[in-house]
Amino acid sequence: METLIKKCLPTYEVLRKIGEGVYGSVFHVKDNLKERAVKVVPIMVERSLSYRTEQDLDSKISHDFYAVQEYYGKIKGDGVIEIHDFHLMDKQVSKQEAKAYLVILMEYCPENLSDHVIDHYPLPPEHAKNRMRELAEILNRLSSRAKDAFIVKDLKPSNLLINKNDQLLIGDLGGLQRLQSISTAAGAQFTPNWSAPELIISSGSASISSLMYAYGLVCYFIWFGRLPYDKEDFTERIRRIRDNGLPFTRSDMPYYVQGIIEKCLKFDPAERIKDLDEVLKILSGDKRLIIDDPSLFARGSGSKTGGKSGETRPRTKPKPAEKPAIADMAAEHSKSDRNPVTDMHKMGDTWTEPVTGMTFMWVPSGGFRMGCGTWDGEGNKDESPVHNVFLDGFWMAKYPVTQGGWKKVMAGAFWQKVSPFAANPSCFRISLEHPVENISWNDAQEFIQKLISLNKNKYHFRLPTEAEWEYAARSCGKPEKFAGSAPLDDLAWYSANSGMTPRPVGMKKPNALGLHDMSGNVYEWCEDNYSESAYKKHRDKNPMISEEGAKRIIRGGSWCNSAHEIRCAYRAGMNPDFKGNYIGFRLVMTSVNRKVI
């Protein structure tokens, strides 16, 4: 593991191994400026009916890598450990299996809650209550959202970290429901000692009720430095809590705190505190929620005031496709003083955006067969049915937006003098000709609005629609698997030739429209919302899917993707606030009178 870390992060020195669990090993590392933690997670996929070919296995490994980053993008924020970077290392694919290592560079926390409680036992009452409140706020933020709610399945003191600012953090992302794909070791995804009885006895699913039980156990530990009946195994402990109640032996423990813990640890899930919001109300002063519950005081316990408690898309064969018709809008080449968004143009015409110097290529209007046709042969379910689409002409940027282009729009002249990478969000800050990455859909929209403003609203810039992107990638809809007619390695930077890093734009051959890097290098955001059934809903002319869900389309694959994922027909969806070091964007310019809706 240490050799892998040094290979992946050569500037860091490995100081020691912090811990090891079901989801991987964690190490303490540092360089000349900072300390970090590194988690190394083995990922393995075995051959099965779902993953029959080496390509299937390779794609699954890549999917799991992106899924971890996507999930982190959803849960990150207050109370969740900060992740600085993700790396996929040493990927090996054979006929029987695919395996790799996920290397996560994260915030270093000097201690976990277990050590903190034991080393400072007993915690003063206000300190203990504050830890309870911190934990409830974190869990409530993750679990109470209408969309993308997460349940912490493996809630225990050793998975809760305390950072250098004395803030409590969720430190084990693998214990969150919907992150099962990164676990490759055998064993349960919860710890029996810290789990609700329904998870252990009847193999129930994680829920708010089971989370409340685990929260009650952690709160008991905060006050007493141990589990109730800690000399018993977990099944006997559950029985003793149910039948005998909880032993509260601290005289400085408020009655309402005892009530919270007692009610969280009810054997029947229906009798527990309903959610974290209720806990927070009690801790904030609304004691009636406990006092008005007579069941808490039905029988005595070990305290004078305490009460008794007892979610792969299958492959589908696309329909045969017809050869697309390419409409050439023949016209005179525009003169420099003409308005490029209103005049007629022909394939091969270019226009230079005045602020950044970005070159745009003219994409003539025309019809094509959108989707995965017989020329591809590897289609996923969401790439069909193949259907007829007609598009008006538009200008598309010759390259993805570069780090230099981003700086010209997003960083002022002063900051450009201070640092060559000012206002540069990219993880790979290698040159200004590299594509800008680590960009969310929302970030791209902000860039677009600033560029429009800098151009005094004279031009309408936006992201391409999904149909425009595929039409342009396939050189006005030609039956091409990748973005161009040359051999794949001459067209694209992808996992087999990139050296697992993005490359400067324009180093590979363009397609017939003169567009570079449409396949590989970095994924590109599109305007549309992601819908698996989009191709059944497209209108015939200038289609775009909107208001169908939270995710937005990314296209083209990237430096860390297999050949399967850099096909012109390949589609994927990400949350609009998700950032990844393999996602950038490319601009389209259209008439101010033709805005997508």
Extract the tokens encoding 286. Answer: 């609304």
Least confident of 253-267, 384-398, 419-433, 439-453: 419-433
Domain boundary (268, 297, 326) is at: 297
Q: Of 47, 72, 106, which residue constitutes the final position of a domain?
A: 106
Is the predicted pLDDT of residue 435 greater than 70, yes or no? yes
Q: Tell me the C-alpha distance between 225 and 238, whole Å.
A: 18
258 with 381, same domain: the answer is no
Write out pLDDT tens, residues 402-427.
999 999 998 754 444 444 444 789 98
Tell me the per-residue pLDDT of 285-326, one tens digit each, with 9 for 90 and over: 765 555 444 444 333 333 433 333 333 333 333 333 333 333
Instruction: Please provide residue 216's backbone torsions phi and psi, each rounded to the nearest 5 degrees.
Output: -60, -40
Each residue of 183-199: b (16+ CB within 10 Å) or e?
Answer: bbeeeebbbeebbbbbb
Rounded to an integer, what distance in angstroms lies between the CA atom of residue 457 and that of residue 370? 32
SS (H, E, C) 340-366: CCCCCCCCCCEEECCCCCCEEEEECCE
Q: Which of 85-89, 200-204, 383-387 has the lowest mean pLDDT?
A: 200-204
Nearest-angstrom CA–CA distance, 156 and 136: 13
Q: Are 274 and 363 members of one domain? A: no
* Strand pairing category for 583-584 and 523-529: parallel
Q: How many whole angstroms separate alpha carbon 296 and alpha carbon 308?
A: 6
214 & 243 share domain: yes
**Residues 440 and 356 both lie in one domain:** yes
Same domain, 99 and 166: no
Rounded Cα distance between 306 and 316, Å, is 61
> Reading across the β-sheet that carries 111-112, which strands appear in turn?
111-112, 160-162, 168-170
Domain endpoint, select from 77, 106, 135: 106
Nearest to 141 by CA among 77, 90, 196, 192: 77
Range of the domain at 141: 111-297
In the chain, the number of structural domains is 3
Provide the CATH number for the domain around residue 77.
3.30.200.20
Q: Is 596 within a domain?
A: no
Let me know: does 195 contact 151? Beta carbons within 8 Å: no
Q: What is the CATH number of the domain that holds 235?
A: 1.10.510.10
332 in any annotated domain: no
Band (pLDDT 50/70/90 cuts) for residue 596 is very low
154-158, 275-279, 299-303, 327-331: which range is least confident on average? 327-331
Do 457 and 574 reside in the same domain of the chain? yes
Same domain, 290 and 359: no
In a domain, 528, yes or no: yes
304 assigned to some structural domain: no
Q: What is the pLDDT of residue 77?
A: 87
pTM score of the predicted model:
0.50
Residues 6+ apart with CB under 8 A from 12: 5, 6, 29, 30, 31, 36, 38
Query: Do 276 and 387 have their domain in common?
Result: no
How confident is the model over 48-57, as a mean pLDDT? 87
86 and 219 in a single domain? The answer is no
Q: What are φ and ψ of residue 469, in 5° steps?
A: -60, -50
Indicate whether 497 and 363 sit together in one domain.
yes
Shortest CA distance to 464 belongs to which of 342, 587, 370? Answer: 587
Does residue 393 sit in the same domain as residue 440? Answer: yes
Burial of residue 297 (number of CB atoms within 10 Å: 0-12, 13-18, 19+): middle
Residues in the chain: 597
State the average pLDDT over residues 82-94. Answer: 92
Residue 116 lies in a domain: yes
- Are 173 and 72 within 8 A, CB to CB? yes
Kindly report the CATH number assigned to the domain that includes residue 427: 3.90.1580.10
Position with higher pLDDT, 567 vs 67: 567
Question: Could you report the per-residue pLDDT of 111-167, keeping only the tens digit for each?
Answer: 999 999 999 999 999 999 999 999 999 999 888 765 667 778 889 999 899 999 999
User: Is pLDDT larger for residue 15 or for residue 338?
Assistant: 15
**pLDDT on residue 479:** 94
Provide, rounded to the nearest whole percent, the portion of the chain with pLDDT above 70: 82
Q: Name which of 223, 267, 229 is nearest 246 in CA terms.
A: 229
**Tens digits of per-residue pLDDT, 1-39?**
889 999 999 999 999 998 876 567 899 999 988 999 999
CB 432 within 8 A of CB 407: yes
125, with CB counted inside 10 A (0-12, 13-18, 19+), is middle
Give the pLDDT confidence score for residue 285 in this predicted structure: 75
Q: Is residue 505 part of a domain?
A: yes
- Tell me if 467 is assigned to some domain: yes
- Between CA 264 and CA 582 the distance in angstroms is 43
Residue 269 inside a domain? The answer is yes
Q: For residue 373, what are the contacts with CB-CB under 8 A and spacing of at least 6?
A: 318, 319, 320, 321, 386, 479, 569
Quick one: 8 and 115 in the same domain? no
